[in-house]
A and B are shown apart, each in its own frame.
Chain A
Amino acid sequence: AQSVSQHNHHVILSEAASLELGCNYSYGGTVNLFWYVQYPGQHLQLLLKYFSGDPLVKGIKGFEAEFIKSKFSFNLRKPSVQWSDTAEYFCAVHPDSNYQLIWGAGTKLIIKP
């Protein structure tokens, strides 16, 4: 069955630390890839997406993600996190054979001021 795996359920970092959140999926065909973020008390919102082209995509608030097809991965990165990045981050994959998004379980990120 198609699945999305987010390796860390909880991550705690200090401000200015670098961030990398892992996302792997199990599907060998073409995919659209998404990262969504849910800030405390706010709606889920799109952080960035990849459909095709340059595998390094940039999103809002200084986030970027790299699609590595050979590794079935779409890791999220930010060079220097801020306290306001405290949120839950979800990776989602849309396989071309499927008619729905497949979601990871989410990673709760806490940034210590």
Chain B
Amino acid sequence: KAGVTQTPRYLIKTRGQQVTLSCSPISGHRSVSWYQQTPGQGLQFLFEYFSETQRNKGNFPGRFSGRQFSNSRSEMNVSTLELGDSALYLCASSLVSGGGDEQFFGPGTRLTVL
């Protein structure tokens, strides 16, 4: 069974630009969660999608948005990039919604904002 894949793996952008990250979950998983990981901060929850519906959202500004398609693939968009958005963005898929069971993580997208 193929794991969670994320594209691209690395991105370099400048302030003010926007970026779209993609995540393909494990086949059969309908829940996709997005996290921002920075050194010393752990994982900060961005949002979760389940069956194309956003189920929950973390405390991030509206510049961070996402969506999920009918095949469970998900995209995350960050508009008007700021230096502080530089981080590793992780996607995780799960059979169940809400974070109550094991999540399977992708390799992440390393975003650098200059």
Contact = CB atoms under 8 A, between A and B. Distances in A.
Q: How large is the interface on A (under 10, 10 to 19, 20 to 34, 35 or more residues)?
A: 20 to 34
B105 A101 contact: no
B8 interface: no
Contacts of A98: 99
A67 B107 CA distance: 29
Interface string A9-46: 10000000000000000000000101010000001111
Contact of A103 (B42, B101, B107, B108): B42
B42 A90 contact: yes
A94 B107 contact: no
A43 B99 contact: no
B40 interface: yes
A105 B41 contact: yes
B103 interface: yes
Nearest to B108: A43
Contact of B40 (A36, A99, A105): A105
A34 B43 CA distance: 14
A100 B105 contact: no
B100 A32 contact: yes
Interface string B35-56: 1000011111100100000011
A90 B45 contact: no
Given A43-B105, A90-B43, A99 B56 contact: yes
Interface of A: 9, 32, 34, 36, 43-46, 49, 90, 92, 94, 98-101, 103-106
11 contacts: A9-B40, A34-B102, A44-B90, A45-B105, A46-B102, A49-B101, A99-B48, A99-B55, A100-B45, A100-B56, A106-B42
Nearest first, the 3 A-B pairs at minimum CB distance are: A101-B99, A44-B105, A105-B42
